[in-house]
Structure 1
Amino acid sequence: MVIFLSIIIIGLAGLNFLQYKSRINQKENFTYIHKKLNQIIDRKTDEKLLLHTDDEELKQILIEINRLLEHNQKMMASYNKTEMSMRKMLSNISHDIKTPLTVVLGYIEIMLNDQNRNHEETDELLKKVNGKTVEVLDLIKKFFDLAKLESGDKDMPLTRMNMNDVCQKNILCFYEVLTTKGFDVAIELPETILYALGNEEELDRVLNNLLSNAIQYGGDGKALGLKLRSDEQSVYVDVWDKGKGISELHKDLVFERMYTLEDSRNKSYQGSGLGLTITKRLVEKMDGQIFLNSKPYEKTTFTVKLKRIIY
């Protein structure tokens, strides 16, 4: 009997020791988690919680904490990227607004101080003032358009669009300009009418911007084309030119806010850098995608992809 009770006492003592050791290990683990989380938060690092344990419940908690840390780190990276982009955009916009306004003030100062100016000279100065004012207003409008798109405030109802009509209408708007400038124009529209889900007014704006860019930036190649094609799920609109194109290094940047394709020595390539960003946001609002493929001085193609409607 004494031996039996001794065994029980020893067993209970061993069990208590194991429980005590388990509590100590658990306390150490939670202390590590607490300190490590504080370090990660305070130092804003991309570390994870690394802890060896046999406790399955604690393993699951660590997995979820690491998922949360990873999500938070991605959000912070996105926020920092957006903040840097916005700072750059505001800086560039300030510069782009200041430059024409300085010119306008210069013209006004000339008109105020030069009393011997004739009527023709006054008209010429007023035309320049008007042109620079329109330039500023256009930049401000693009800035607010982008802000509305990115905030989700822009209402864009989606309906069925006749893509053949939309493409034909938009290329014809530029046809006279293209022929005057000596462009070779290629228009490829299928005989079968293709329908897509989108907003016709905003798609007009997208195509207008892509065609304008092709004329402005791809003018060296003296060739421009528009092609409408499809597969079972999607409709594609290709706008291409054979101009200076976009290098591989810059292909991923052309849709970024305030990125410009300009050569700083060539004023014909100057722009606000908002046009393609707005174009991309408009396409995305129509549940579509836009792609770029470019081989400088061979062929540069912007492709708009929209959901096809078959009926």
Structure 2
Amino acid sequence: MDAPHRPVMLREAVAGLAPERGGYFVDGTFGRGGHTTALLARLGDQDRLLALDKDPDALASSEALALRADPRLELVHGSFAQLAAFIAERGRLGQVAGVLMDLGVSSPQLDEAGRGFSFMRDGPLDMRMDTGRGITAAEWLADVSENELIRVLRDYGEERYARRIAQAIVARRSNQPLSTTAELAGLIAAAAPTREKGKHPATRSFQAIRIHINHELEELEAGLRQALEILRPGGRMAVISFHSLEDRIVKRFMRDESRNGGSTPMPWPAPDERAPRLARIGKAILPSAEETAENPRARSAVLRIAERLSA
């Protein structure tokens, strides 16, 4: 039986946004509404919350249907990489009190075999978070060059056997295309000469392919830049990441924007003359031992919080 979806570091993430100060908030990844529900519980009658998700299944879930009656909440199909456009449409640029981004794949996405995210469940090789857009993992694997596949597996999965796995995939597809998660997982397991303790040999490759198919790192970088632009002075961003590639981007962005010059070169003023635009709030927060015991999927999570400084 599938475990129920549990939002990671719920209390810490919501508290980090300081919702008691009120205002207009954004949950950039609705998922199954855990963080959204907790935020609404701490917002006043005049406060508002925009919740986004690029997965249409999330917005059609029973949790979403139950929350739609709350007049303070607006649910929208879209990615946090479109934050600035969504906020501009609502006349809220520079007025947002808090942005939450909970990255990666959700428990329902992993648990539903038909979505193709899990190497533990046999299903069509899809992996798209937004099933109405883009190409599937099967379609990409059918045409990608061997060198590009090696790059994706190495850069996004940190897979030490990227070349072996890519060669095995290219050799297999010349006879029969890969169409299911079980086929891909079995092929990877056969190609990898050794296994990491406690990890399925397909773990890193599935992560890499999913990240590439969904443009996750590019969307994260865009979302961070836009979150900074839409926040009001004193507004906060809280970002939960689940692997080192994501956390490295978040950490670097918050570090650079808390220094003179910032992270985005501009023609004027010169980069080394611009004042810091963010202040980091505390250190990186990790889930408690109690949370990881109850929810093993939380074990790799890292929460970082930063506050927008005055323009």
Q: Which has the higher contact order (CA 8 A, sep 6+)?
A: 2
**Which has the larger helix fraction?**
1
User: Which TM-score applies when normalising by structure 2?
Assistant: 0.24
TM-score of the superposed pair, with normalisation by structure 1: 0.24
